[in-house]
């Protein structure tokens, strides 16, 4: 299969004016990935799927990543080819910010395997996917608010006494119970 | 009746025909689960029925969601290993192999040869457990009240005894490490594994004579839940479910991870893509696994089972990312790790085969009866620990 | 003929049914609790602390409260408080000991990472599992007294492993003793009293 650099060049040639950036990978022997612009991501994905030399027809993994310092959310896709048995190609889309309406293009119409995984990224990260046929929460219940996998997710304060609290949990214990962690409060020591 | 051939149903409600028709009654919406003996865990399906025919099916997930990926971000790399056992709790050896492979890719860690053989032996034993139990559960869902399931469990106990004497625990083995395996098996253990492998063929013969030609099984599973190959590829279906539709894609051959290229084994493919094919593929894969086990047990070399330079505690890989995948018994299980140089991963993602295979549940069940929906779900082979993480 | 598959199946179930009366391979139920299935040597359930002597488990604990197991434990079920003073350890040197060592076994997932990372062979896996209780918190929090068990118990549970550990510790001890006994060294010899607290590895 062609290298990510070669694929990037072909995408730039095929879609003039649409930026495609190479994102380096620091792991030993790590493969670089391609950052696509959400406005053209769907067409580019169809090109990657249908191009005869690539035929990347299998979207193996789709996930979200939260980058609070960069101020964006990212959707990462790992593409392989079942027809040609090669891969992977990693493509990414980034949102403009981490606000409520942040969205990227949904690639579910291109690869059906992204359907549930994009729903999960929406549920756990809050990344919107325009063009997704049924974008609603999948792992959390429907009325849930907030997005649990974000780095700044504040867990609800439903602390229950634990005998061996550490660090952050010990701090929570001290807020709730005067004497922690030696003994449970009197009301819970019922037989 | 088979599902319509289009790759994607843009409006599932268009298949729901209008009510208040003088010849038909109302549609009935049934919530199957989450407390249901046939849903393989806490899984719920909102099924809309026209009589007994399924016209709409929406899976509801998340009852076993433990936010495993966030735990992975807080725990160290070594500390996440026991949690990987709890994803697909039937197949702890393959889950932790996939995770160890991802970390080894991230750090460039080498694995000694004996450890590679051990990993193959344990992965194939896990495949035997998983497929045997799946056949049992499928029949249980079909109404066979537990007899094939109990025979499957009886055989599984022998392999679980092997796991217990090797790693200390039957299911939550915590056995793979970055750079090899934790415990070196004794020659007595290898002999025990050889005995189990030799006896498995006879067990499979008996199991098949109970099931494969059984008219009731054939009537209930043949032609049910047909999956077209193009739809399977697009939906990211992997594992036996994909191969039952005739797509030749097995990561042991495609990626050739570990030392699988050294072993001679075939990949069974199905012709029809229905539930019976999914069952038969698993039986045939078990026979191939026995062959791989024989070869691996014959050829396993001596040497260390863990690379002496492997760093376990306090591992801090350089910043970068890696995605590693293996052919687990349920499909492609992969781990995607992003490291930022700290002792815990920045992003820890599990690619769950059961979750992605479930994408097509509605497509497969439309037009079939509600009893078939249970059997189709059984043939997809899900484990909620992996679906929900 | 329609039904031959079913007949083959009935033959299999009949073989299993009849076989379960005389063939142990067909009847595999162990009638617990009257009969207990033996556990292999490697089996693990929850951790325990190793003490050298049964007569004084608190005083001869190998644990020096380094807190590595507490840090590495994935579900964070260990709670350790270091002592304020030092006590002579098995090799005669003054070392810290855990004033509090709690393991919450309702949280412990028996992963055995604490055992792997302990540099002092102080914590090992037990095999007890019949510890169900009716009290939710206090009875499932094992403290130092409940966790400390003698080395002889360790030998009973895991004979091969315990023998290996003892051999390794004795070799390390012999090396330190040889170094201390060298005439060119200015280190004082170990106090005679300390030797009395250091019984040979296999003593009860």
Domain definitions of chain A by residue range: 4-150, 154-184
> Which residue in chain B has the smallest CA separation from C16?
B151
The CA distance from C17 to the nearest CA of chain A, in Å, is: 44
**Interchain contact, A191 vs C135, CB within 8 Å:** yes
The shortest C-alpha distance from B238 to chain A (Å) reads 9
Alpha-carbon gap: A66 to the closest alpha carbon of chain C (Å)? 24
- Least confident window among B17-21, B98-102, B113-117, C152-156: B17-21
Query: What's the gap in Å between the CA of B309 and the closest CA on chain C?
Result: 16
Number of Cβ within 10 Å of residue A114's Cβ equals: 27
Question: Would the CB atoms of A60 and B236 count as touching at under 8 Å?
Answer: yes
Q: Is the pLDDT of residue A179 over 80?
A: no
In a mutagenesis test of the B interface, which of C74, C109, C117 is the best target, namely the one with the most B β-carbons within 10 Å?
A: C74
B198 touching C (Cβ < 8 Å):
no
Interface partners of C (3+ CB pairs, < 8 Å)? A, B
Per-residue pLDDT at B20: 55
Check CB contact under 8 Å for C137 and A181. no
User: Which residues numbered 110-129 in A keep a CB inside 8 Å of some CB on B?
Assistant: 111-117, 124
DSSP A37-64: -HHHHHHHHHHHHH-TTT---EEEEEEE
- The domain segmentation of chain B, as residue ranges, is 5-60, 68-387
Contact flag B169-C110 (C-beta cutoff 8 Å): yes
Contact C111 B182 (CB under 8 A): no
Taking CB atoms and an 8 Å limit, are C44 and B168 in contact across chains? yes
Residues of C within 8 A of B167 (CB-CB) are 42
| pLDDT winner (highest mean) among A3-12, A167-176, C56-65 | A3-12
Which has the minimum average pLDDT: B257-266, B333-342, C127-136?
C127-136
Question: How far B74 CA sits from the closest chain A CA (Å)?
Answer: 11
Q: How much is the pLDDT for A66?
A: 92
Residue B356 banded pLDDT, cuts 50, 70, 90: very high
Over 80: is that where the pLDDT of B13 sits? no
C159, exposed or middle or buried, with CB in 10 Å at 0-12, 13-18, 19+?
exposed
* Distance between CA atoms of residues B287 and B269, nearest Å: 14
What average pLDDT does chain B have? 89
Query: Which residues in chain C are contacts of A162 at CB distance < 8 A?
Result: 104, 107
Residue C137 sits at the chain A interface (C-beta within 8 Å): yes
Interface test with A, best of C137, C138, C146 (most A CBs within 10 A): C137
Pairing of β C87-88 and β C94-95: antiparallel
Model confidence at A163: pLDDT above 80 = no
- Which pLDDT value is given to residue B38? 78
Element (H, E) at B322: strand B320-328
- Lowest-pLDDT choice from A167-181, B24-38, B287-301: A167-181
Residues of B in contact with A121 (CB under 8 A): none
- The verdict on a CB contact (< 8 Å) between C141 and A165 is no
| CB contact at 8 A, B249 and B317 | no
Q: Does A165 touch chain B (CB under 8 A)?
A: no
Mean pLDDT of C82-111: 85
Identify the CATH assignment for A4-150 out of 3.40.50.300, 3.40.50.970, 3.30.565.10, 3.30.460.80: 3.30.460.80
Say how many C-beta atoms besides its own lie within 10 A of residue B41's C-beta: 18
- Given a cut of 60, whether residue B334 has pLDDT beyond it is yes
- Whether the pLDDT of residue B311 is over 90: the answer is no
* pLDDT in the model for residue C194: 43
Does residue B19 carry a pLDDT above 80?
Answer: no
Domain B68-387 classified CATH 3.40.50.300? Answer: no
pLDDT over threshold 60, residue C186: no
**Whether pTM exceeds 0.80:** yes
A133 CB within 8 Å of a chain B CB: yes
Q: Which of A25-39, B79-93, C173-187 has the lowest mean pLDDT?
A: C173-187
Average pLDDT score over residue span B278-301:
94
Judged against a pLDDT cut of 80, whether residue C11 lies above it is answered with yes
Q: What is the pLDDT of residue A143?
A: 86
Mean pLDDT of A154-160: 79
- Provide the pLDDT confidence category of residue A142 given band limits of 50, 70 and 90: confident
Which residue is it, tokens 């097995």?
B250
Residues of chain A found within 8 Å of residue B238, distances taken between Cβ atoms = 60
Q: Do B312 and C116 touch (CB under 8 A)?
A: yes
Q: Is C15's pLDDT higher than 80?
A: yes
Please name which of C10, C13, C44, C40 lies closest in space to residue C26, comparing C-alpha atoms.
C13
Check residue B24 and give its pLDDT: 67
pLDDT surpasses 70 at C2: yes
- Pairwise pLDDT comparison (C184 vs C40), residue with the higher score: C40
| Residue C134 near chain A (CB below 8 Å) | yes
Each domain of chain C, given as residue ranges in start order, spans 47-175
Choose among A61, A82, A83: nearest Cβ to B336: A61
Contact criterion met (CB < 8 Å) for B213 and C125: no
Confidence of residue B184 (pLDDT cuts 50, 70, 90): very high
> Inter-chain contact C2–B167, Cβ cutoff 8 Å?
no
Q: Which of C76, C135, C138 sits opposite A166 (nearest CB)?
A: C76
Q: Which pLDDT value is given to residue B350?
A: 94
Give the span between the Cα atoms of B315 and B319, in whole angstroms: 12
pLDDT at C37: 86
CA-nearest residue to C3 within chain B is B215
Structure confidence by residue, pLDDT tens digits, B220-232: 999 898 999 999 9
- Over 50: is that where the pLDDT of A189 sits? no
Sign, Cα dihedral of A55, B271, B228, B95: negative
CATH topology of domain C47-175: Alpha-Beta Plaits (3.30.70)
Contact list, A113 vs chain B (CB under 8 Å): 234-237, 356, 359
Q: Do C12 and B209 touch (CB under 8 A)?
A: yes
pLDDT for the residue C192: 47
pLDDT band at B6 (very low <50, low <70, confident <90, very high): very low
Percent of chain A with pLDDT over 70: 93
Contact B377, B35 (CB under 8 A): no
Q: A29-33, B173-177, B335-339: lowest mean pLDDT where?
A: A29-33
Contacts of C111 in chain B (CB under 8 A): 81-82, 172, 174
Cα maximum dimension of chain A: 74
- The three-state secondary structure class of A104 is strand
pLDDT at C1 over 90: no
CB contact (8 A) between residue B233 and residue A109: no
Task: Work out the average pLDDT over C51-78.
Answer: 88
CA B19 to chain centre: 40
Residue B2 confidence (pLDDT): 39
pLDDT at A185 exceeding the cut of 60: no
Band (pLDDT 50/70/90 cuts) for residue A180 is low
At residue A157, the pLDDT reads: 78
Q: Does B2 touch chain C (CB under 8 A)?
A: no
Query: How close, in Å, is residue B176 to chain A by CA atoms?
Result: 21
Residues A120-143: what's their mean pLDDT? Answer: 90
% of chain B surpassing 90 pLDDT: 68
With CB atoms and an 8 Å threshold, state whether B388 touches A139: yes
* Residue B130 CA: distances (Å) to CA of A62, B316, B357: 26, 34, 16
Q: Which residues of B226-252 are buried (b: 16+ CB within 10 A; e: fewer)?
A: bbbbebbbbbbbbbbbbbbbbbebbbb
Residue of A nearest to B237 (CA): A113
| Confidence category of residue C193, pLDDT binned at 50, 70, 90 | very low
Q: Where are the alpha helices (DSSP H) in chain A?
A: 4-14, 38-50, 114-125, 167-176
């Amino acid at each position: 299969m062609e290298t990510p650099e070669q694929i990037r060049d072909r995408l730039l040639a095929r879609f003039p004016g649409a930026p495609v950036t190479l994102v380096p990978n620091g792991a030993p022997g790590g493969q670089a990935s391609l950052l696509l612009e959400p406005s053209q991501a769907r067409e580019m994905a169809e090109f990657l799927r249908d191009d005869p030399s690539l035929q990347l027809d299998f979207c193996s993994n789709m996930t979200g990543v939260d980058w609070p310092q960069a101020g964006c959310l990212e959707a990462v896709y790992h593409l392989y080819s079942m027809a040609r048995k090669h891969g992977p190609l990693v493509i990414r889309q980034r949102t403009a910010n981490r606000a409520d309406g942040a969205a990227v293009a949904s690639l579910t119409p291109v690869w059906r395997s992204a359907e549930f995984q994009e729903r999960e990224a929406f549920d756990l990260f809050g990344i919107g996917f325009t063009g997704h046929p049924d974008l609603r929460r999948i792992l959390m219940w429907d009325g849930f608010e907030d997005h649990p996998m974000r780095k700044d997710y504040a867990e609800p304060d439903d602390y229950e006494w634990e005998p061996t609290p550490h660090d952050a949990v010990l701090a929570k214990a001290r807020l709730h119970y005067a004497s922690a962690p030696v003994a449970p409060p009197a009301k819970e020591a019922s037989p | 009746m088979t599902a319509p051939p289009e790759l994607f149903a843009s409006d599932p409600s268009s298949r729901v025909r209008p009510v208040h028709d003088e010849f038909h009654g109302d549609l009935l919406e049934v919530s199957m689960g989450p407390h249901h003996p046939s849903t393989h865990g806490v899984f719920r399906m909102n099924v809309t029925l026209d009589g007994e025919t399924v016209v709409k099916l929406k899976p509801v997930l998340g009852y076993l969601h433990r936010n495993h990926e966030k735990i992975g971000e807080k725990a160290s790399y070594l500390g996440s290993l026991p949690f990987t056992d709890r994803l697909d709790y039937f197949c702890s050896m393959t889950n932790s192999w996939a995770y160890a492979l991802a970390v080894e890719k991230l750090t460039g860690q080498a694995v000694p040869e004996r450890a590679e053989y051990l990993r193959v032996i344990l992965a194939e034993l896990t495949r035997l457990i998983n497929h045997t139990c799946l056949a049992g559960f499928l029949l249980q869902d079909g109404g066979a009240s537990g007899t094939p399931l109990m025979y499957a469990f009886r055989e599984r106990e022998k392999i679980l005894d092997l796991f217990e004497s090797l790693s200390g625990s039957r299911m939550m083995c915590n056995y793979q490490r970055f750079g090899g395996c934790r415990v070196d098996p004794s020659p007595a253990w290898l002999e025990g594994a050889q005995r189990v492998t030799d006896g498995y063929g006879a067990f499979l013969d008996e199991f098949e004579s109970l099931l494969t030609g059984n008219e009731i099984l054939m009537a209930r599973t043949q032609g049910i839940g047909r999956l077209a190959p193009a739809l399977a590829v697009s939906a990211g279906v992997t594992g036996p479910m994909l191969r039952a539709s005739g797509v030749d894609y097995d990561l042991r051959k495609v990626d050739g991870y570990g030392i699988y290229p050294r072993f001679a084994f075939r990949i069974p493919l199905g012709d029809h893509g229905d539930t019976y094919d999914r069952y038969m593929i698993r039986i045939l894969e078990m026979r191939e696994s026995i062959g791989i086990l024989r070869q691996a047990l014959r050829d396993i070399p001596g040497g260390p089972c863990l690379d002496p330079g492997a760093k376990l505690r306090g591992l801090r890989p350089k910043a970068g990312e890696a995605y590693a995948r293996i052919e687990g018994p349920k499909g492609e299980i992969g781990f995607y790790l992003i490291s930022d140089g700290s002792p815990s991963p920045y992003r820890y993602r599990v690619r769950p085969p059961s979750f992605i295979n479930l994408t097509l549940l509605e497509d497969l069940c439309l037009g079939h009866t509600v009893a078939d929906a249970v059997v189709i779900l059984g043939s997809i082979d899900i484990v909620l620990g992996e679906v929900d993480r | 003929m329609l039904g031959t598959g079913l007949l083959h199946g009935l033959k299999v179930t009949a073989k299993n049914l009849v076989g379960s009366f005389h063939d142990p391979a067909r009847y595999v139920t162990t009638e617990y609790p009257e009969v207990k299935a033996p556990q292999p040597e490697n089996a693990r359930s929850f951790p325990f602390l190793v003490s050298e002597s049964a007569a004084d488990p608190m005083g001869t604990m190998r644990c020096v409260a380094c807190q590595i197991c507490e840090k590495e434990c994935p579900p964070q079920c260990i709670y350790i408080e270091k002592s304020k003073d030092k006590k002579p350890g098995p090799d005669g040197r003054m070392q810290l000991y855990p004033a509090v060592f709690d393991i919450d076994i309702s949280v412990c997932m028996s992963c055995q990472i604490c055992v792997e990372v302990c540099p002092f062979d102080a914590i090992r896996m037990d095999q007890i599992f019949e510890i169900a209780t009716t009290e939710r918190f206090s009875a499932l929090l094992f403290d130092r007294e409940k966790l400390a068990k003698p080395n002889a118990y360790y030998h009973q549970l895991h004979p091969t492993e315990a023998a290996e550990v003892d051999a390794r510790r004795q070799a390390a001890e012999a090396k330190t003793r040889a170094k201390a006994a060298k005439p060119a060294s200015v280190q004082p010899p170990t106090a005679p009293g300390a030797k009395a607290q250091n019984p040979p590895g296999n003593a009860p």
